[in-house]
Structure 1
Amino acid sequence: MSLNDDLTAVQRCLDELVRSVTRLEQRVGTDGLEIRRVRTDADHLRESLALLRETAPEERSRPEIIPVPDGPYNSALWLDVDDEGLGARDRHAP
């Protein structure tokens, strides 16, 4: 799951929380300290998520995939290269 997907999922959960708090306020009223605290906490969570979205790093796209052929390479590419660990072609190992 990408970061954007996670942030969107959290946003949906917070939206549902706010709807639930609104329904709860309709049942118990808005005068109590407890329900005001719950409403304030829900609002703070929404603000914090908005700040997190603003500061979240942008997602990087995947690097371009470059296919590597299965066939042998052109041997002319390697004429000026020593065989690794074996020395040059015209010399012998000690």
Structure 2
Amino acid sequence: MSSTTELAELHELIGSLRRCVTSLASRYGDSPATRRIVNDAERILNDIDRLDIDAEELELARGVVHHQPVGERIPIPDTAYDTDFWRDVDDEGLGGTR
């Protein structure tokens, strides 16, 4: 999704939809049918707002990578830890017990 262009167009369209729904509701009054269409329009608006929130996630799914600054790197030595380091620690191991 070309995020800003399509999302801006969706916002314009939902604005038009809300104006139409408001006009229909004022013309036909409070009835189950008008309440239903008002609720549907609000749900669509909420979905579009959610899409705004998820736009970055959609870009990541497409493979667009946002580079974030690299923080401080902490070197981890390859040498074995002193056995005293692990004293009084339960060894749960990997994969369970037999």
Instruction: Please give the range of the TM-score, normalised by the shorter of the 2 chains.
Output: 0.5 to 0.7
Aligned counterpart, 1:44? 43
Alignment-mate amino acid for residue 20 of structure 2: S
Paired with 1:57 and 1:46, the residues of 2 have a C-alpha distance of 19
Q: Is 1:19 aligned to 2:19, yes or no?
A: yes
Q: Distance in 1 between matches of 2:36 and 2:26?
A: 15
Deviation at 1:57, TM superposition (A): 1.5
| Matches of 2:52 and 2:41, distance apart in 1 | 17
Distance in structure 1 (CA, Å) of the matches to 2:26 and 2:20: 10
The gaps in structure 2 that reach 5 residues or longer are: 65-98
**The structure with more helix, counted as a fraction of residues:** 2
Aligned length: 60
How far 1:3 sits from its partner (Å)?
1.9
User: Paired residue for 1:53?
Assistant: 52
Write the distance in 1 (CA, Å) between the matches of 2:2 and 2:50: 18
Aligned residue runs from structure 1 range 72-87, under 5 A:
none
1:39-75 deviation digits (Å, cap 9, x = unpaired): 0000000011101101111876xxxxxxxxxxxxxxx
Q: For structure 1, list consecutive stretches of 5 or more residues without a partner in the other structure.
A: 61-94
Secondary structure of residue in 2 paired with 1:52: helix
TM-score w.r.t. the length of structure 2 is 0.55
Identity of aligned residues (%): 31
Deviation at 1:2, TM superposition (A): 2.4
- The root-mean-square deviation of aligned C-alpha atoms, in Å, is 2.0
